[in-house]
A and B are shown apart, each in its own frame.
Chain A
Amino acid sequence: MKSYQGVVLRIDLTNQTSRREELNREWARQFWGGKGLGYRYLFAELAPGTDPLGPDNKLILATGPFTGTPVPCSGKLTIVTRSPATGTVLDCSVGGAIAGEIKYAGYDLVILEGRAPFPVVVRIEDDRVAFEPAGDLWGLGTHAVEHQLTDKWGAEYRILSIGPAGENLVPFACITSELYRQAGRGGVGTVMGAKNLKAVAVRGTGGVRVADAARLMDLALKALRSDVLTDTNLWAYTDGTPMIVELSQNAGILPTRNFQDGTFADFAKLSSPAVQAARMAKKACLSCGLGCGNYIRTGRAAVEGPEYETLAVAGANCGIGDLEAVAAFNAACDDLGLDTISAGGVVAFAMELTEKGLHDFGITFGDVERYLEIPDLIARRKGIGAELAAGVKKMAERFGGAEFAMQIKGLEFPGYEPRGSWAMALAYATAPRGACHMSAWPVAEEAYGSRDPFTIEGKAELVRNLQHYNAFKFSLSLCDFWAVSWETMAELLSAAVGEDLAAEELQLAGERIFNLARLFNVREGFSARDDNVPPRLVKDALPSGATAGKLIPPDRYAAMLKEYYELRGWTDDGRPASVKLEELGLAELGRKAGL
């Protein structure tokens, strides 16, 4: 198949060696790249029960068949590992241009394994791999790391790095690239820290060959002009994700004060017009015509962001109606290497624990100055940061508040209140990596769109279909902000790899990829009992706005989950049944998962 480099770079950090391996093309043909291909390698290479922070865990950097080509919005890198926050399979994507550099250096995948005996930076330039001691960088923030490495080796290098949070094994440590782009969730940065891997710097000088370059260019340019730069996608350029603040506020699903409310009185101070007023420039990832990034400067910080998730979870959800403060929190998290979503989640939880008198963290909703001290405390595990660094699930085990501990499988909630988007509750609960908005995003159809959010009718099917769509799209490393059709993906992929692919085949691949993630989790002991939502969602009604009086009745949630399992061909305890595995070509892997 064209458009692949056909090479996997395997890096052994323990022995500081590397070797080139042939890409498993059979797997590439079934799982394509990015998320799917990363899952396939991880499933094959990790023994069940592998300690996420041990040397046997792996960090897989996965590109896709479109990486490095002008297919619009194809610049994302997927990072796959076993999550130290959840114990589930974890895939996390990051934008910028590093995926392109990896591909131009000649690799489809880079697999990092083992543990370096001392802090290192892995430097990759085409076929040369070097292990540079990083003792002098240990303890520094990601911004200083990037500046120092590009000063030394050249601005052409693109870098993945961790800050003190990753070094100190905070379970929600992220990986930063190009200062403001993050692979945020589930502790990908924690895994780097556990491997003594401070940074990976990559430069590639080669190129990507596809099956039919002229045809791919014709199709991609047509897509760019008539399917990307259109009224259906240009919100990402005109506004970017801060516009979602407006949608969520209107729909009553803007998480406020640790999900105690779905509207926020000060929402306008966090919404798109406020971000635009501070905007200096728009910034895109490699090959993206949308350029969702808003590079802003406020009195407290310069940052590309804040994105919606940060504005919602680290803003409204902490009672912070102050863009300057959220931007400063965002910039600090990027530099320290903390996921802003989970960081916002633990801060909001600590605020509510304090408010309810369960434990006094000395921090209350809306307290800007105290709020701004917290990222550093968490990253360095100092003061209350030592407690907050445990994450919401473990904080609840220690301090109480399980009723309002907004996490699933140990991953803190993103910025959508499920009581005003019942399908989102199902999406969070069944996402492979815990409470995650990237496995399916049904809010567009129901909370924001025309479908009734307060019913379970048709929601299992909606979530299932969206999960297949994202699973496949992210296996091509396409960005979620391009609302691309299955047919367009099939057309582009056919031209890239030189086969005649139909949308139906890609849909089946999406289902296969989603089920493989489930198999990984089943193998690690996850089952239906882990697909539950926090009690708050089924017990407490929301107080205001479009969701006033709404909760998800527990029997409705149970019925929705049951319908979802049936629709998926899974058993009552949430395991893929053998008929389904057979249909997806996963029967052998199912046996390996103990099914």
Chain B
Amino acid sequence: MRLTVKLWGPLAKYAGAGTAEFIVDVPAGTTVDALIGLLGVPAEYVLMAAVNGTKSERDRVLRDGDVVHVLPLVAGG
């Protein structure tokens, strides 16, 4: 299945696509966590994953066409 992905901030370097959205093809049944692993993003640097604009559980099974944003740790405010 095909997903649209965006890696935010310092995580952008992992997929080599910068901070722009990009397309990836992954096997059916891939979860958010598995996608993060496939992209080579260290899980400990991920604060939030959002699917289609809403914060998602990490064990959520993704569907074809989903837009997944992966956001880094932040501090303060």
Contact = CB atoms under 8 A, between A and B. Distances in A.
Secondary structure call for the A interface: loop
B10 A443 contact: no
A550 to B, nearest CB: 13
A273 B77 CA distance: 18
B56 to A, nearest CB: 8
A428 B67 CA distance: 34
Given A231-B72, A232-B73, A235-B73, A243 B55 contact: no
A424 to B, nearest CB: 10
Secondary structure call for the B interface: mixed
A441 B76 CA distance: 6
A413 to B, nearest CB: 13
A444 B72 CA distance: 11
A247 B48 contact: yes
Given A238-B9, A449-B48, A416 B77 contact: yes
A235 B9 contact: yes
Contacts of B11: 231
A441 B77 CA distance: 7
A23 interface: no
B77 A448 contact: no
Given A247-B74, A250-B69, A448 B48 contact: yes
Contacts of A231: 10-11, 42, 45, 72-73
Contacts of A273: 19
Contacts, number: 95
Contacts of A232: 45, 72-73
Instruction: From B19, B50, B75, name the one whose CB has the most chain A CB atoms within 10 angstroms.
Output: B75
A308 B77 contact: yes
Contact of B47 (A272, A444, A482): A444
Nearest to A267: B53
Contact of A250 (B12, B48, B73): B48
A251 B48 contact: yes
A483 interface: yes
Contact-residue bracket for chain B? 20 to 34
B47 A250 contact: no
A450 B8 CA distance: 18
A241 B77 CA distance: 7
Contacts of B55: 250-252, 447-448, 546
A244 B75 CA distance: 10
Contacts of A481: 75-76
B10 A250 contact: no
Interface in A333-351: none
Interface of B: 8-12, 19, 42, 45, 47-48, 50, 53-55, 58, 69, 71-77
25 contacts: A231-B73, A232-B73, A234-B9, A234-B10, A235-B10, A235-B73, A243-B8, A243-B74, A246-B69, A246-B71, A250-B71, A272-B8, A308-B77, A415-B77, A416-B77, A438-B77, A444-B74, A448-B47, A449-B47, A449-B48, A450-B58, A480-B76, A482-B75, A545-B54, A546-B54
The 8 closest A-B pairs by CB, nearest first: A480-B76, A250-B50, A483-B75, A234-B10, A235-B9, A238-B9, A231-B45, A481-B76
